[in-house]
Copies of this chain bind each other. A is one copy, B any other.
Amino acid sequence: MKENPVTPPARPRPVTLATVARHAQVHVSTVSRALSADPVGIGADTVLRVRELAAVLGYRRNEGAAGLRTGSSRLIGVLVPRLTDLVLASIYESIDAAASAAGYGTVVANTLDDPEHRRARLDALLSRRIDGVIIGDSHLGDTVAHELRSSGVPYVLVMRKLEGHLSVTTDDYRGGQLAAQHLLELGHRRVGVIAGDQLASTGRERTLGFRRTFESAGYPLPDPCVVESAFSTPSGLVAAEKLMRLPEPPSAVFAVHDLLALGAMGAIRDAGKRVGEDVALIGYNDLDLAATLPVPLTSVRSDLQRMGTLSVEALLAGIKGQAAASVLLPPELIVRATTPPLQV
Protein backbone atom coordinates (compact mmCIF):
# COMPACT_ATOMS: atom_id res chain seq x y z
CA MET A 1 0.00 0.00 0.00
CA LYS A 2 1.34 3.35 -0.95
CA GLU A 3 1.59 5.65 2.03
CA ASN A 4 -1.18 8.09 1.81
CA PRO A 5 0.27 11.47 0.87
CA VAL A 6 -1.55 14.17 2.71
CA THR A 7 -3.38 16.03 0.01
CA PRO A 8 -3.24 19.78 0.44
CA PRO A 9 -6.73 21.07 1.06
CA ALA A 10 -8.16 22.12 -2.26
CA ARG A 11 -7.55 25.82 -2.55
CA PRO A 12 -10.51 27.38 -4.25
CA ARG A 13 -9.69 27.90 -7.89
CA PRO A 14 -8.40 31.45 -8.22
CA VAL A 15 -10.42 33.82 -10.34
CA THR A 16 -8.72 34.53 -13.65
CA LEU A 17 -9.41 36.69 -16.65
CA ALA A 18 -11.53 33.86 -18.00
CA THR A 19 -13.74 33.92 -14.92
CA VAL A 20 -14.38 37.60 -15.30
CA ALA A 21 -14.90 37.23 -19.04
CA ARG A 22 -17.55 34.59 -18.52
CA HIS A 23 -19.47 36.76 -16.11
CA ALA A 24 -19.16 39.83 -18.28
CA GLN A 25 -20.09 37.92 -21.43
CA VAL A 26 -17.08 39.17 -23.30
CA HIS A 27 -13.81 37.72 -24.50
CA VAL A 28 -10.85 37.46 -22.15
CA SER A 29 -8.86 39.78 -24.37
CA THR A 30 -11.50 42.42 -23.81
CA VAL A 31 -11.21 41.96 -20.08
CA SER A 32 -7.46 42.18 -20.26
CA ARG A 33 -7.67 45.45 -22.14
CA ALA A 34 -10.40 46.87 -19.95
CA LEU A 35 -8.31 46.20 -16.88
CA SER A 36 -5.12 47.66 -18.30
CA ALA A 37 -3.89 51.06 -17.22
CA ASP A 38 -5.22 52.92 -20.21
CA PRO A 39 -7.90 50.87 -21.90
CA VAL A 40 -7.62 51.81 -25.53
CA GLY A 41 -10.12 50.65 -28.10
CA ILE A 42 -12.69 49.50 -25.58
CA GLY A 43 -16.05 51.10 -24.95
CA ALA A 44 -16.18 53.21 -21.82
CA ASP A 45 -19.23 51.38 -20.54
CA THR A 46 -17.59 47.99 -21.06
CA VAL A 47 -14.52 49.14 -19.16
CA LEU A 48 -16.66 50.19 -16.25
CA ARG A 49 -18.71 47.04 -16.23
CA VAL A 50 -15.67 44.77 -16.42
CA ARG A 51 -13.77 46.62 -13.71
CA GLU A 52 -16.71 46.47 -11.39
CA LEU A 53 -17.17 42.80 -12.01
CA ALA A 54 -13.48 42.12 -11.50
CA ALA A 55 -13.59 43.91 -8.16
CA VAL A 56 -16.67 41.99 -7.07
CA LEU A 57 -15.23 38.65 -8.06
CA GLY A 58 -11.95 39.47 -6.37
CA TYR A 59 -9.86 39.18 -9.50
CA ARG A 60 -6.12 39.48 -8.98
CA ARG A 61 -3.73 39.61 -11.85
CA ASN A 62 -1.38 36.64 -11.95
CA GLU A 63 1.95 38.40 -12.16
CA GLY A 64 3.79 35.24 -13.04
CA ALA A 65 1.63 34.56 -16.05
CA ALA A 66 1.75 38.18 -17.15
CA GLY A 67 5.50 38.19 -16.81
CA LEU A 68 5.74 35.10 -18.93
CA ARG A 69 4.01 36.85 -21.75
CA THR A 70 5.50 40.32 -21.38
CA GLY A 71 9.00 39.17 -20.59
CA SER A 72 9.20 41.44 -17.56
CA SER A 73 8.60 40.31 -14.00
CA ARG A 74 8.38 43.83 -12.62
CA LEU A 75 10.61 42.57 -9.88
CA ILE A 76 14.00 43.82 -8.86
CA GLY A 77 16.51 41.89 -6.84
CA VAL A 78 18.54 43.40 -4.03
CA LEU A 79 21.77 41.90 -2.75
CA VAL A 80 22.82 42.86 0.77
CA PRO A 81 25.43 41.42 3.10
CA ARG A 82 22.88 41.09 5.86
CA LEU A 83 19.69 42.76 6.87
CA THR A 84 20.65 42.78 10.52
CA ASP A 85 23.11 45.45 9.52
CA LEU A 86 20.91 48.44 10.25
CA VAL A 87 22.54 50.44 7.51
CA LEU A 88 21.62 47.98 4.81
CA ALA A 89 18.18 47.50 6.30
CA SER A 90 17.59 51.24 6.02
CA ILE A 91 18.76 51.33 2.45
CA TYR A 92 16.66 48.33 1.57
CA GLU A 93 13.60 49.92 3.11
CA SER A 94 13.92 52.97 0.95
CA ILE A 95 14.69 50.85 -2.10
CA ASP A 96 11.56 48.87 -1.50
CA ALA A 97 9.48 51.99 -1.00
CA ALA A 98 10.78 53.64 -4.15
CA ALA A 99 10.39 50.49 -6.20
CA SER A 100 6.88 49.81 -5.12
CA ALA A 101 5.96 53.41 -5.83
CA ALA A 102 7.15 52.73 -9.37
CA GLY A 103 5.11 49.57 -9.59
CA TYR A 104 7.94 47.18 -8.99
CA GLY A 105 8.31 44.55 -6.31
CA THR A 106 11.62 43.74 -4.66
CA VAL A 107 13.23 40.54 -3.54
CA VAL A 108 16.10 40.83 -1.14
CA ALA A 109 18.81 38.26 -0.61
CA ASN A 110 21.20 38.01 2.31
CA THR A 111 24.55 37.07 0.91
CA LEU A 112 26.38 36.93 4.24
CA ASP A 113 29.46 38.11 2.37
CA ASP A 114 29.97 34.50 1.35
CA PRO A 115 30.72 34.02 -2.35
CA GLU A 116 29.12 30.60 -2.73
CA HIS A 117 25.99 31.51 -0.88
CA ARG A 118 25.85 34.70 -2.85
CA ARG A 119 25.98 32.94 -6.17
CA ALA A 120 23.21 30.58 -5.15
CA ARG A 121 20.99 33.47 -4.13
CA LEU A 122 21.68 35.42 -7.25
CA ASP A 123 20.88 32.34 -9.30
CA ALA A 124 17.56 32.05 -7.54
CA LEU A 125 16.87 35.69 -8.33
CA LEU A 126 17.72 35.25 -11.99
CA SER A 127 15.46 32.21 -12.11
CA ARG A 128 12.65 34.52 -11.12
CA ARG A 129 13.55 36.58 -14.16
CA ILE A 130 14.10 39.77 -12.22
CA ASP A 131 14.31 42.89 -14.32
CA GLY A 132 17.40 44.22 -12.61
CA VAL A 133 19.65 43.98 -9.59
CA ILE A 134 20.76 46.43 -6.94
CA ILE A 135 24.04 45.27 -5.47
CA GLY A 136 24.68 46.42 -1.92
CA ASP A 137 27.45 44.03 -1.04
CA SER A 138 30.09 44.40 -3.69
CA HIS A 139 33.65 43.51 -2.89
CA LEU A 140 36.96 44.35 -4.39
CA GLY A 141 37.57 41.67 -6.99
CA ASP A 142 33.95 40.71 -7.12
CA THR A 143 32.90 39.36 -10.49
CA VAL A 144 29.14 39.39 -10.15
CA ALA A 145 28.79 42.85 -11.61
CA HIS A 146 30.83 41.84 -14.63
CA GLU A 147 28.74 38.76 -15.18
CA LEU A 148 25.54 40.72 -14.97
CA ARG A 149 26.85 43.19 -17.46
CA SER A 150 27.84 40.54 -19.95
CA SER A 151 24.54 38.73 -19.56
CA GLY A 152 22.75 41.99 -20.13
CA VAL A 153 20.91 42.27 -16.83
CA PRO A 154 20.69 45.88 -15.67
CA TYR A 155 22.27 46.54 -12.29
CA VAL A 156 23.42 49.32 -9.98
CA LEU A 157 25.83 49.27 -7.08
CA VAL A 158 24.74 50.98 -3.92
CA MET A 159 26.68 51.96 -0.81
CA ARG A 160 29.83 50.19 -1.94
CA LYS A 161 31.36 51.11 -5.27
CA LEU A 162 33.52 49.28 -7.74
CA GLU A 163 35.70 50.80 -10.40
CA GLY A 164 33.97 50.90 -13.77
CA HIS A 165 30.43 50.15 -12.63
CA LEU A 166 27.41 52.36 -12.18
CA SER A 167 27.00 53.15 -8.50
CA VAL A 168 25.20 55.33 -6.00
CA THR A 169 27.36 55.97 -2.96
CA THR A 170 28.45 58.64 -0.54
CA ASP A 171 31.90 60.12 -0.66
CA ASP A 172 33.51 57.85 1.88
CA TYR A 173 36.98 59.24 1.40
CA ARG A 174 35.64 62.67 2.23
CA GLY A 175 33.85 61.23 5.25
CA GLY A 176 37.12 59.87 6.56
CA GLN A 177 38.67 63.29 6.05
CA LEU A 178 35.89 64.99 8.01
CA ALA A 179 36.40 62.66 10.94
CA ALA A 180 40.16 63.17 10.88
CA GLN A 181 39.95 66.95 10.66
CA HIS A 182 37.59 67.05 13.59
CA LEU A 183 39.91 64.98 15.77
CA LEU A 184 42.93 66.99 14.70
CA GLU A 185 41.20 70.23 15.60
CA LEU A 186 40.38 68.81 19.01
CA GLY A 187 44.07 68.13 19.48
CA HIS A 188 44.16 64.37 19.16
CA ARG A 189 47.45 62.99 17.90
CA ARG A 190 47.44 59.31 18.81
CA VAL A 191 44.35 57.86 17.22
CA GLY A 192 43.05 54.44 16.25
CA VAL A 193 40.82 53.27 13.44
CA ILE A 194 38.37 50.39 13.40
CA ALA A 195 38.53 49.94 9.70
CA GLY A 196 35.84 47.45 8.77
CA ASP A 197 36.27 45.19 5.79
CA GLN A 198 39.04 46.47 3.54
CA LEU A 199 37.55 44.65 0.56
CA ALA A 200 34.48 46.84 0.83
CA SER A 201 34.94 50.29 -0.66
CA THR A 202 33.28 51.81 2.38
CA GLY A 203 35.77 50.48 4.88
CA ARG A 204 38.67 51.11 2.56
CA GLU A 205 37.90 54.67 1.55
CA ARG A 206 36.82 55.89 4.94
CA THR A 207 40.02 54.54 6.42
CA LEU A 208 42.10 55.94 3.60
CA GLY A 209 40.62 59.43 3.84
CA PHE A 210 41.22 59.39 7.55
CA ARG A 211 44.80 58.13 7.40
CA ARG A 212 45.83 60.45 4.63
CA THR A 213 44.53 63.45 6.52
CA PHE A 214 46.47 62.58 9.65
CA GLU A 215 49.49 61.89 7.50
CA SER A 216 49.37 65.27 5.79
CA ALA A 217 49.05 66.88 9.18
CA GLY A 218 52.28 65.25 10.17
CA TYR A 219 50.91 62.49 12.37
CA PRO A 220 50.91 59.32 10.31
CA LEU A 221 49.16 56.36 11.90
CA PRO A 222 51.31 53.36 12.74
CA ASP A 223 49.84 50.17 11.31
CA PRO A 224 48.82 48.58 14.63
CA CYS A 225 46.51 51.54 15.16
CA VAL A 226 44.36 50.45 12.24
CA VAL A 227 42.38 47.30 12.90
CA GLU A 228 40.33 45.46 10.31
CA SER A 229 36.97 44.04 11.29
CA ALA A 230 33.56 42.95 10.09
CA PHE A 231 30.69 45.46 10.31
CA SER A 232 28.96 44.31 13.48
CA THR A 233 28.79 45.28 17.12
CA PRO A 234 30.66 42.22 18.43
CA SER A 235 33.52 42.70 16.02
CA GLY A 236 33.71 46.35 17.05
CA LEU A 237 34.25 45.17 20.59
CA VAL A 238 37.07 42.86 19.61
CA ALA A 239 38.78 45.45 17.46
CA ALA A 240 38.61 48.14 20.11
CA GLU A 241 40.02 45.75 22.68
CA LYS A 242 43.09 45.40 20.49
CA LEU A 243 43.46 49.15 20.33
CA MET A 244 43.05 49.51 24.08
CA ARG A 245 45.74 46.94 24.73
CA LEU A 246 48.31 48.88 22.70
CA PRO A 247 51.33 50.06 24.73
CA GLU A 248 50.15 53.62 24.19
CA PRO A 249 46.42 53.37 23.63
CA PRO A 250 44.87 56.04 21.40
CA SER A 251 43.07 59.07 22.81
CA ALA A 252 40.50 58.84 20.06
CA VAL A 253 39.00 56.13 17.88
CA PHE A 254 37.37 56.40 14.46
CA ALA A 255 35.00 53.51 13.74
CA VAL A 256 33.84 53.29 10.14
CA HIS A 257 30.36 52.11 11.17
CA ASP A 258 28.12 53.12 14.09
CA LEU A 259 27.63 49.53 15.16
CA LEU A 260 31.41 49.17 15.39
CA ALA A 261 31.47 52.30 17.52
CA LEU A 262 28.85 50.73 19.73
CA GLY A 263 31.05 47.71 20.24
CA ALA A 264 34.01 49.98 20.85
CA MET A 265 32.10 51.68 23.66
CA GLY A 266 31.93 48.35 25.40
CA ALA A 267 35.65 47.76 25.03
CA ILE A 268 36.52 51.23 26.23
CA ARG A 269 34.37 50.74 29.29
CA ASP A 270 35.95 47.34 29.91
CA ALA A 271 39.36 48.99 29.75
CA GLY A 272 38.28 51.17 32.66
CA LYS A 273 37.99 54.34 30.61
CA ARG A 274 35.09 56.64 29.92
CA VAL A 275 33.84 57.21 26.41
CA GLY A 276 34.16 60.85 25.47
CA GLU A 277 36.06 61.98 28.51
CA ASP A 278 38.99 59.55 28.30
CA VAL A 279 38.65 58.29 24.76
CA ALA A 280 36.96 60.21 21.99
CA LEU A 281 34.90 58.21 19.49
CA ILE A 282 33.48 58.84 16.04
CA GLY A 283 31.10 56.53 14.25
CA TYR A 284 29.77 56.46 10.72
CA ASN A 285 26.31 56.58 9.12
CA ASP A 286 24.56 58.37 11.96
CA LEU A 287 21.98 55.74 12.71
CA ASP A 288 18.97 56.74 14.78
CA LEU A 289 20.43 55.18 17.84
CA ALA A 290 23.63 57.22 17.68
CA ALA A 291 21.87 60.29 19.03
CA THR A 292 20.21 58.55 21.94
CA LEU A 293 23.08 56.53 23.31
CA PRO A 294 24.04 57.08 26.95
CA VAL A 295 26.84 59.16 25.54
CA PRO A 296 25.54 60.51 22.23
CA LEU A 297 27.82 59.48 19.42
CA THR A 298 29.59 61.82 17.05
CA SER A 299 29.07 60.34 13.61
CA VAL A 300 29.55 61.00 9.93
CA ARG A 301 26.14 61.02 8.37
CA SER A 302 25.36 59.52 5.01
CA ASP A 303 21.93 59.88 3.57
CA LEU A 304 20.78 56.28 3.40
CA GLN A 305 17.24 56.99 2.25
CA ARG A 306 18.49 59.07 -0.60
CA MET A 307 20.98 56.45 -1.64
CA GLY A 308 18.22 53.89 -1.79
CA THR A 309 15.89 56.10 -3.79
CA LEU A 310 18.55 57.17 -6.23
CA SER A 311 19.72 53.64 -6.82
CA VAL A 312 16.21 52.65 -7.79
CA GLU A 313 15.96 55.59 -10.16
CA ALA A 314 19.25 54.66 -11.76
CA LEU A 315 18.23 51.03 -12.14
CA LEU A 316 14.85 51.87 -13.59
CA ALA A 317 16.56 54.10 -16.10
CA GLY A 318 18.83 51.23 -16.98
CA ILE A 319 15.88 48.91 -17.41
CA LYS A 320 14.31 51.36 -19.79
CA GLY A 321 17.55 51.47 -21.68
CA GLN A 322 18.45 54.99 -20.69
CA ALA A 323 21.90 55.92 -19.58
CA ALA A 324 22.46 56.88 -15.97
CA ALA A 325 25.46 58.41 -14.25
CA SER A 326 27.03 57.35 -10.99
CA VAL A 327 26.13 59.46 -7.99
CA LEU A 328 28.41 60.50 -5.15
CA LEU A 329 26.59 62.05 -2.22
CA PRO A 330 28.33 64.33 0.27
CA PRO A 331 28.70 63.14 3.86
CA GLU A 332 28.25 65.40 6.86
CA LEU A 333 29.85 65.37 10.29
CA ILE A 334 27.45 65.40 13.23
CA VAL A 335 29.26 66.36 16.39
CA ARG A 336 27.97 65.01 19.69
CA ALA A 337 29.22 64.13 23.14
CA THR A 338 31.76 61.45 22.30
CA THR A 339 34.15 64.05 20.92
CA PRO A 340 34.28 66.82 23.51
CA PRO A 341 36.99 69.51 23.45
CA LEU A 342 40.15 68.13 25.05
CA GLN A 343 40.73 69.44 28.55
CA VAL A 344 44.48 69.84 28.76
A residues bordering B, Cβ < 8 Å?
6-9, 11-12, 14, 60-65, 67-68, 73, 82-84, 86, 89-90, 92-93, 96-97, 100, 105-110, 120-121, 123-124, 126-129, 151-153, 232-234, 236-237, 259, 262-263, 265-269, 275, 288-289, 291-296, 319-322
> Considering residues A65, A83, A266, A269, which has the most beta carbons from chain B within 10 angstroms of its beta carbon?
A83
Specify which of A6, A110, A153, A294 lies most central, judged by the most chain B CB atoms within 10 Å of its CB.
Answer: A294
Q: Closest CB of chain B to A144's CB: distance in Å?
A: 15
The answer to whether B73 and A83 have CB atoms under 8 Å apart is no
Contact of A11 among B92, B110, B153, B262 (CB under 8 A): B153
Q: Pull 15 A–B residue pairs with CB atoms less than 8 Å apart, ordered by A.
A: A6-B321, A60-B123, A62-B68, A68-B68, A83-B83, A83-B93, A84-B93, A89-B89, A105-B107, A237-B292, A262-B292, A266-B292, A267-B292, A268-B294, A294-B294
Instruction: Check A294 against B320 for contact (C-beta < 8 Å).
Output: no
CB distance from A294 to the nearest CB of B (A): 4
Contact B89 A7 (CB under 8 A): no
How far is the CB of A99 from the nearest CB of chain B, in Å?
A: 11
A189: min CB distance to chain B, Å = 24
Number of this chain's copies in the complex = 2
Q: Which of B64, B129, B151, B236 contacts A292 (CB 8 A)?
A: B236
**In the complex, are the beta carbons of B105 and A292 less than 8 A apart?**
no
Contacts of A60 in B (CB 8 A): 123, 126-127
**Ranked 7 nearest A-B pairs via Cβ:** A266-B292, A8-B321, A64-B64, A265-B294, A11-B152, A233-B289, A83-B89
A322: chain B residues within 8 A (beta carbon) = 6
Report chain B residues within 8 Å CB of A127: 60-63
Q: Is the CB of B293 within 8 A of A294?
A: yes
Chain B residues within 8 Å of A86, by CB? 84, 86, 89
CA distance A60 to B232 in the complex (A): 35
Q: 10 more A-B contacts (CB under 8 A) besides A64-B64, A96-B109, A293-B293?
A: A63-B127, A82-B93, A83-B89, A86-B89, A89-B89, A233-B289, A233-B292, A275-B294, A294-B294, A294-B295
